[in-house]
Amino acid sequence: MIEFHVNDKPVSFDGAEDTPLLWVLRDHLAMKGTKFGCGIGSCGACTVHLEGRARNSCTTKVASVAGKRVTTIEGLASADGTLHPVQQAWIDEDVPQCGYCQAGQILSAVDLLSRNPVPDDGDIAREMTNLCRCGTYVRIRKAIHRASELMSEAG
């Protein structure tokens, strides 16, 4: 039995220890916000936070998260429903087109801003390696700058 926390709630998984976290989230816990993209950790559609840092859930074995905290897109907003500044910026800048990669993009952006609260375009280009099938990279960059401003205003 593997026990860990997802979005601040205790969960357990009684299955193969080498099961990718992605499939535990989607199939066992019915959390569909985390998407399957490539299955090899290259596209970022499956990005979640593990102990506050971005991680590809498709290549993370569930055994490696025992006793740890996982945050998915479903757990990013506050308990009262207030959106995270990155989520709000995504709306403000009309980022999503098809939306498939957006959960992973948002979680990667949150991680970036936690480490670098005021990134420049070069920082964003280097750090945001998730793929977007629709090519909304310009809007993603604008949204990250907007989220940085929102976070600065909030203190």
User: What's the rounded Cα separation, in Å, for the pair 32 and 153?
Assistant: 32
Is 54 strand, coil or helix?
strand
What do you get for the CA distance between the two ends of the chain, in Å? Answer: 41
pLDDT exceeds cutoff 80 at 45: yes
pLDDT exceeds cutoff 80 at 151: yes
- Residue 99's pLDDT band (boundaries 50, 70, 90)? confident
* Half-sphere exposure in the Cβ direction for 149 (13 Å, CA): 11
- Residue 155's pLDDT band (boundaries 50, 70, 90)? confident
Write down the pLDDT at residue 154: 84
Give the domains, in start order, of the chain with CATH numbers: 2-75 (3.10.20.30), 85-154 (1.10.150.120)
Backbone angles phi, psi at 47, to 5 degrees: -60, 135
Tens digits of per-residue pLDDT, 20-31? 999 999 999 999
User: What's the rounded Cα separation, in Å, for the pair 99 and 86?
Assistant: 15
Instruction: Specify the pTM.
Output: 0.96
User: What's the rounded Cα separation, in Å, for the pair 119 and 115?
Assistant: 9
Q: Which tokens belong to 19?
A: 């099961």
Tens digits of per-residue pLDDT, 46-96? 999 999 999 999 999 999 999 999 999 999 999 999 999 999 999 999 999
